[in-house]
Amino acid sequence: MKKNDRIQALRKAAEAMTRGNFTPDIPTGDDEIGHLGKSLKKLSDYLKKQSERSQSLYRIMVECNLNLHLIDVLNHIYESFQEHLPYDRISLALIESGGTKLKLHWVRAAYDPLELNAGHSISIVDEGLQALLSSDEIRIFDDLSDYLKKFPNSVLAQAITKEGIRACLVCPLVADGKLIGFVFFSNRKKNSYNDTHKDLPLQIASQLSVIIEKTQLYRGIKLNKQLIAQKKSLEQRVTHDALTGLYNRPAIFDILHKQIQRAKRGGFGISVIMIDIDHFKAINDTYGHLAGDAVLSEIADRLTQSARSHEYIGRYGGEEFLAIISPYDKTGAAKAAERFRQAVACKPIQTDQSNIPVTISLGVAASSEQKTTLDADLLLRHADEALYSAKHKGRNRVEIADGIG
């Protein structure tokens, strides 16, 4: 590949990453451009991992706020974060019996046997437990054999060290300003945790506190129309973008993966459309960010009104949107994209300051019923490349990706 072509490929890869596509084609090599490519690939891998972590946290948030199935959420946590946090055991314990006991409600580990199983209770006056209760901040224990030496009479310290646990990250659960229990992330290796590991458990603990608090709130209460309405309102806030009312990024990704599975089962195709507002930065610079927000909101309304019942539209990020349509072949997807383009370009958008003419560019990627082509990353990458082509061919147009079945 020529030098200019490699530089162009790196630039396209960087632009793709800003749109959330972390699997672009990145040329590497042993010269300066090649080393830059290697660095960019490392960055892409890191960002993809962070995106996957955010997606898992999003699913926990949905489960916590909507379904209220605590065991399902805890199992999802155990299965989802092993690449982001070193643990071979997670347990949940709650303060009960009028604040006199700490009871283990759930435990899951990668080994047997367990000394501390679900249902096990420890008196609140246990000296090792008292050390935890003295602070409502996240705590890291690098070597639990030292913890046992410090509290030799602690039933808690004796049990965890007997089980072989050597390091522990203890995250408090707080509801309505009150300590209600702990989440324990444990490892049989010493010095497994450091300060960089604190952020994720804190986010997990905050969501678990929500579901525990709601479970207590709803216990013994019959769900009536008011509670159902509140649940729907909460679902809207969790899954939709506050400004545009469209599906937010995690939600539209979730829909994409579900639609792909549905397409695979049904043996039909699926299409995605990447949508970008033309010259949006100029709109913000010329008319101000309030006008820019009004443009985003109106475009979202026009896209929604022109969409069919089987077409899903979400805010991909910034001034970009993602549409998922299935079942649709390449021809049908192109017609849908043109329908979206016309809906936006048909008339200027009226704001408090003036009427602003706005257009969009669209990139279409369609996959046939061939299962090998039904891959989210592949579809998004091809749609992103088609969008890139549409922007460089003059904008306000639809381009269709090649190379997908």
Given the residues 311, 319, 320, 399, the one annotated as active site: 319
339-364 per-position pLDDT tens digit? 999 999 999 999 887 899 999 999 99
pLDDT at position 295, please?
Answer: 95
Residue 233 belongs to a domain:
no
Q: Would residue 26 be called left, alpha or beta, if left means φ above 0 and alpha means ψ between -120 and 50 degrees?
A: beta
User: Domain total for the chain?
Assistant: 3
Alpha helices, DSSP H only, in 139-288?
144-150, 155-162, 199-218, 225-239, 249-266, 280-287
pTM: 0.50
Considering the domain architecture, whether residues 11 and 134 belong to the same structural domain is answered as no
Q: What is the CATH number of the domain that holds 207?
A: 3.30.450.40
- H-run or E-run covering 295: helix 289-306
Asked if the structure places residue 175 within a domain, the reply is: yes
CATH, residue 288:
3.30.70.270
Secondary structure class of 121 (helix, strand, coil): strand
Quick: pLDDT tens for 174-228. 887 888 899 999 999 999 999 888 888 888 888 788 778 776 655 544 444 555 5
Q: Do 107 and 26 sit in the same domain of this protein?
A: no
pLDDT attached to residue 342: 96
pLDDT for 69 equals 67
Kindly tell me the sign of the dihedral angle through the C-alpha atoms of 139, 140, 145, 150: negative
The reply to whether 46 and 140 lie within a common domain is: no
Distances in Å between the Cα of 172 and the Cα atoms of 18, 181, 285, 376 are: 35, 6, 46, 37
Q: pLDDT tens digits for 16-65?
A: 777 666 667 788 888 888 888 888 888 877 777 766 666 665 655 555 55
* Token output for 361: 């560019």
Pick the last residue of a domain from 67, 84, 113: 67
Q: Are residues 57 and 76 in the same domain?
A: no
Token pair listed for 233 = 């309102």
CA 213 and chain centroid, separation? 23
* Annotation marks residue 52 as catalytic: no
**R_g over Cα of the chain:** 26
Domain limits at 24? 3-67
